């Protein structure tokens, strides 16, 4: 899978045009989410749920879950992946991210701890060296029967598809807010081209359905939802 | 951004570094560095924009504008302002988080009954 995804990345780099020089305002869009709607039957549970939100810190999401007496954990893995000290070199001398160090500092939870993991669009924007290790860790921290929601771009999305943070508005409604990075330092250890563009995270790859199934092969079931905005929503059950 | 004014407000300025246990019975404003633990059971802690705390915090109310690494237990409320960077679990009755604040950790909202039961 790595070679296919790297080809996509090359395609993106060559066709992506110049880097944006000016930061755009963080525009907000709303969208319906079938995957979130499917998860919503869990929210009325009288037993408090443990929910892990892997997107940017979202006051809306924290409010949404705490109002329903659930416990929410917030961890922004994309920002965490830009820590400079994670940079290392592989056997060929290429700069990569040290996945062991990353996992030693992030996603440190007991096994089978979460009922729900909100992954959002993390796999599409996370550095290649971290995708599989992170998905492996997420499998282990999910309870058996626990669910993970992730969004994947289709190949029609284009290389400059902006990275969004997701705020839950209602049971199946999301507000999407474009992530605008504030500092050059957040470009990431492997350089601006590899991890981030001038003012936001860069789409790293496009998974096809088979890649997605492979990525979640350890999970018990997988369900796809096609959306109109060049995004596939994927709900997997451990 | 200026420090909140209060009659009983202790202040730790930007250049002050404290290591150890900090406790008291008045509100505290920290714009310097504190490492250890902070216990202000009936009072509030405000971490100013230059404040860097590496400590577990127990207070009635906690307002964060700077960096705080450690668990926060507040009997009343926690406010994370837009410049806040918090790494640790938050346990409180009420929380407000401004757009732009960063939180890595758990948010656990506890009702008064739960607090009383020590859950």
ipTM: 0.80
Question: Is the per-residue pLDDT at A21 higher than 70?
Answer: no
- Residue B16: both structure tokens together: 């002050």
pLDDT given for residue A183 in this prediction? 52
Please indicate whether, in this complex, the C-beta atoms of A57 and B101 are within 8 angstroms of each other.
yes
Whether B68 and chain A come into contact, CB under 8 Å, resolves to no
Nearest CB partner across the interface for B105, out of A65, A73, A79 = A73
Convert the pLDDT of each residue in B12-31 to its tens digit: 999 999 999 999 999 999 99
Q: Residue A76's domain spans which residues?
A: 2-15+23-237
CATH of the domain at A108: 3.40.50
pLDDT digits (tens, 9 = 90+) for A56-70: 999 999 999 998 989
Count: domains in chain A: 1
Mean confidence (pLDDT) of chain A: 82
Q: Shortest CA distance to B16 belongs to which of B38, B34, B32, B36?
A: B32
CA gap A209, A193 in Å, rounded:
26
Name the percent of chain A lying above pLDDT 90: 53
Residues of A with CB under 8 A from a CB of B: 56-57, 59, 62, 65-66, 69, 71-76, 79-80
Specify the pLDDT at position B37. Answer: 96
User: Is residue A71 predicted with pLDDT exceeding 60?
Assistant: yes
Q: What is the pLDDT of residue B3?
A: 52
How would DSSP label each residue in B42-109? EEEEEE-TT-EEEEEEEEEEEEESSEEES-EEEEEEEEE-TT-EEES-EEESEEEE-TT-EEEEEEEE
- Looking at beta carbons, which residues of chain B come within 8 Å of A79? 102
pLDDT band per the 50, 70, 90 thresholds, residue B59: very high
CA distance A75 to chain B (A): 5
- The answer to whether residue A135 scores a pLDDT higher than 80 is yes
pLDDT of residue B5: 52
């Amino acid at each position: 899978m790595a070679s296919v995804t790297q080809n996509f990345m090359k395609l993106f780099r060559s066709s992506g045009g110049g880097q944006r020089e000016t930061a755009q305002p963080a525009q907000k869009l709303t969208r319906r989410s079938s995957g979130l709607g499917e998860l919503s039957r869990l929210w009325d549970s009288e037993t408090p749920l443990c929910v892990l939100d892997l997107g940017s810190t979202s006051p809306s999401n924290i409010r949404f879950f705490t109002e329903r007496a659930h416990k929410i954990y917030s961890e922004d893995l994309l920002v965490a992946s830009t820590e400079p000290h994670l940079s290392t070199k592989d056997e060929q001398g290429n700069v990569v991210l040290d996945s062991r160090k990353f996992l030693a500092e992030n996603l440190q939870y007991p096994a089978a701890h979460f009922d729900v993991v909100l992954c959002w669009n993390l796999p599409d924007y996370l550095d290649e060296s971290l995708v599989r290790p992170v998905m492996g860790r997420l499998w282990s921290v999910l309870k058996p029967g626990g669910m993970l929601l992730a969004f994947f771009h289709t190949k029609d999305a284009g290389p400059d598809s902006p990275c969004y943070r997701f705020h839950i508005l209602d049971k199946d409604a999301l507000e999407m807010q474009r992530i605008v990075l504030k500092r050059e330092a957040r470009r990431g250890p492997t350089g601006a081209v590899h991890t981030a563009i001038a003012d936001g995270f860069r789409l790293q790859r496009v998974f096809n359905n088979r890649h997605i199934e492979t990525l979640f092969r350890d999970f018990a079931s997988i369900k796809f939802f096609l959306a109109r905005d060049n995004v596939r929503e994927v709900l997997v059950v451990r | 951004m200026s420090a909140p004014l209060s009659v009983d407000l202790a202040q730790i300025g930007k250049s002050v570094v404290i290591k150890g246990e900090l406790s008291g019975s008045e509100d505290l404003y920290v714009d310097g560095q504190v490492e250890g633990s902070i216990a202000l059971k009936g009072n509030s802690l405000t971490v100013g924009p230059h404040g860097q705390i590496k400590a577990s915090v127990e207070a009635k109310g906690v307002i964060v504008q700077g960096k705080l690494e450690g668990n926060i237990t507040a009997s009343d409320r926690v406010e994370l302002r837009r410049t806040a960077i918090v790494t640790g679990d938050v346990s409180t009755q009420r929380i407000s988080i401004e757009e732009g604040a960063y939180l890595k950790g758990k948010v656990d909202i506890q009702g008064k009954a739960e607090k009383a039961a020590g859950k």
